[in-house]
Chains A and B, each alone.
Chain A
């Protein structure tokens, strides 16, 4: 990070190559559209390049926490500007080609994930998919740990309901 603050481009390139797939997946699970996820990721990395000095190691914020926050803001900003996905687009994306009951349930789950309120989806994204601890995820979302856990519980409960799993 110190090298990026000093505008050392090879250090930036290493970070992008190492983390772009991971952070792309995070963006995708919020925006559910490849082009938008790529655009959000690109903007976030450019912010990292141009505003790296804003990350203050003395504040004891880990780089990933800080950068997740940058990406999250970028994604939510983009989500606010765009129109919601029409349901037929969601169904097309969810189609897996299989027609058995399991595939049907996966389609329902995929659609349910896309329809989750953004804060619940973000909580699941950070804790479940990205493996952040509850405290780290709460820090990224700038909320209390209890509030994050409540988001996780509500989000997962509504997904279980879609799959017909008792809570």
Chain B
């Protein structure tokens, strides 16, 4: 195993050799005994992983597990999506209804006005243009 191959395998499987595929692990164990540079690469990787593990983690706030457990007990937890989904749907439906109603009323008004106008025109035609008063 070359230095480059070892580095690649360390990136893939880590420095814990028990995680390596058996065949590769055997190859490495055979090579480690005779090649000091491979040992050096392996020990550098161990140090690198040690530093990665030392990265601090902000602890969760106290009682996190209890809060989750209690929240699941609340009836709203069973339909959390519906809680925010329905008001939005209801609002959208109301707006659509209002729009539909407004349009319908407008069309009705318009057709009503047209019919009155055509009626006047008819009166004009029937009576005024012929010089007869209704």
B80 interface contact, C-beta 8 A = yes
Whether B71 pairs with A46 at a CB distance below 8 angstroms is yes
Q: Which residues of A contact B73 (CB under 8 A)?
A: 9
By the criterion CB–CB under 8 Å, are B57 and A153 in contact? no
Alpha-carbon distance A159/B11, docked complex (angstroms): 11
How many of chain A's residues have a CB under 8 angstroms from any CB in B? 43
The total number of A-B Cβ pairs within 8 Å is 91
Tell me, in angstroms, the Cα distance from A93 to B56 when the chains sit together.
Answer: 9
> B99: CB under 8 A from chain A?
no
Residue of chain A at shortest CB distance from B12? A149
A150 to chain B, nearest CB (A): 9
Residues from chain B with Cβ under 8 Å of A71 in the complex: none
B68 touches A42 (CB 8 A): yes
Residues of B within 8 A of A165 (CB): 44, 48
Give which listed residue, B11, B19, B44, B64, contacts A133 with CB less than 8 A: B19
A66 on interface, CB distance cutoff 8 Å: no
- With A12-B72, A50-B80, A152-B11: A128-B52 Cβ-Cβ less than 8 Å: yes
Interface of chain B, main secondary structure:
helix
In the bound complex, how far is the Cα of B48 from the Cα of A71, in angstroms? 27
Say how far A164's CB is from chain B's closest CB, in angstroms.
Answer: 11
8 Å CB contacts to A: which residues of B42-77? Answer: 44, 48-49, 51-52, 54-61, 64-65, 67-69, 71-73, 77
Please tell me if the beta carbons of B11 and A41 are within 8 angstroms of each other in the complex: no
Contacts of B14 in A (CB 8 A): 127-128
Is A16 in the interface zone, CB < 8 Å from B? yes
B13 at the interface (CB under 8 A from A): yes
Asked if residues A152 and B12 are in contact (CB atoms below 8 Å), the reply is yes
> Chain B 97-132 against A: per-residue CB contact (8 Å), 1 yes, 0 no?
000000000000000000000000000000000000
B55:A113 contact, CB within 8 angstroms: yes
Q: Does B13 contact A134, Cβ atoms closer than 8 Å?
A: yes
Task: Point out the residue from B8, B12, B56, B60 that lies within 8 Å of A38, measured CB to CB.
Answer: B60
Residues of A within 8 A of B39 (CB): none
Q: Does A54 contact B (CB under 8 A)?
A: no
In-complex Cβ contact of B51 among A20, A25, A163, A166 (8 A): A163
A21 close to chain B: CB less than 8 A? yes
Q: Determine if B12 and A153 form an interchain contact, defined as CB atoms under 8 angstroms apart.
A: yes
Give bound CA distance, A152 to B11, whole Å. Answer: 6
